[in-house]
Amino acid sequence: MRIIRAKNYEEMSRKAAAIIAAQVVSKPDCVLGLATGGTPVGTYKNLVEWYNNGDVDFSAVTSVNLDEYRSLPREHPESYWSFMHRNLFDHVNIDPARINLPDGNNMDAAAECARYDAVIEAVGGVDLQLLGIGHDGHIGFNEPSDAFDLGTHCVDLTEETIEANKRFFASRDEVPRQAYTMGTRTIMHARKVLMIVSGKDKAEIVKKAFFGPVTPQVPASILQMHKDFVLVADEDALSLI
């Protein structure tokens, strides 16, 4: 595990974007595992800027997103499909045929999860997986539990996650209660994992996940065992370690 310290959110975003850009420059046909949420917005902004400057070319990149709400229409502004298009895909030259997310509108959970695992396998696995972390230590929507989840699966969001995500919706009632998410095994099989964390409110979970025991009760803690895990965090997020 390597920790890269950034002064603030902006510097964290630039450093994370630089790592992703380096991946794309060194392997133009790489597979990027991408994340949504508040944290990666600045990272994507930098990538769009560097694409506009001619420094990064996404034409051969394949993307596989971590997760998607179940039952939220794809066109809903808070679907992860919409988020990714708004923040990154609509602004760079990625081939739409190479964009992959779980299909939250396929209500046959078993079929959708099997399809998504097959997609990830068919593209040869993930070269670089970008992650954020939830206050309870979730990665993707792998919530605290008694065992690490394996492949893509359907999850019931915890009360804490619903509470955290309500800021994106008009009301708490509108937050979907379920999601499809890549499993911990898929994340651990990524050849490189890059986590970005910002803010004092994440300091406690950063300490617990990366300086505490490895346990499925803190899903991100498994990353301590990944052979190429980079944590890019700002001073606030690192303030307790």
Instruction: Please count the CA atoms within 13 angstroms of the CA of 68 that sit on its side-chain side.
Output: 29
Of residues 132 and 176, the one with the C-beta less far from ligand F6R: 132
Q: Active site includes 95?
A: no
Q: How far is the CB of 142 from ligand F6R (least distance, A)?
A: 8
Residue closer to ligand F6R by CB (options 140, 183) is 140
| E strand intervals along 86-220 | 99-100, 128-131, 153-156, 178-181, 192-197
C-alpha count within 13 angstroms, C-beta hemisphere, residue 54? 0
Q: Give me the residues that bind ligand F6R (CB under 6 A), please.
A: 35-39, 66-67, 132-134, 138-141
Asked about 29 being catalytic, the answer comes back as no
Q: Regarding beta strands 67-69 and 178-181, do their DSSP bridges make them parallel or antiparallel, or are they unpaired?
A: antiparallel
Question: Has 78 been annotated as catalytic?
Answer: no
CB of 141 to ligand F6R, least distance (A): 6
Shortest reach from residue 16's CB to ligand F6R, in Å: 12
Residue 199 dihedral angles phi and psi, to the nearest 5°: 105, 150
Catalytic status, residue 67: yes
Query: Which helix (H) or strand (E) covers residue 2, if one does?
Result: strand 2-6
H helix or E strand, kind and range, residue 11: helix 9-26
Among 112, 127, 143, 236, which one carries the catalytic annotation? 143
- Supply the minimum distance, in Å, between the C-beta of residue 38 and ligand F6R: 4
Nearer to ligand F6R, 49 or 160 (CB): 160
Active site residue ranges: 67, 136, 138, 143
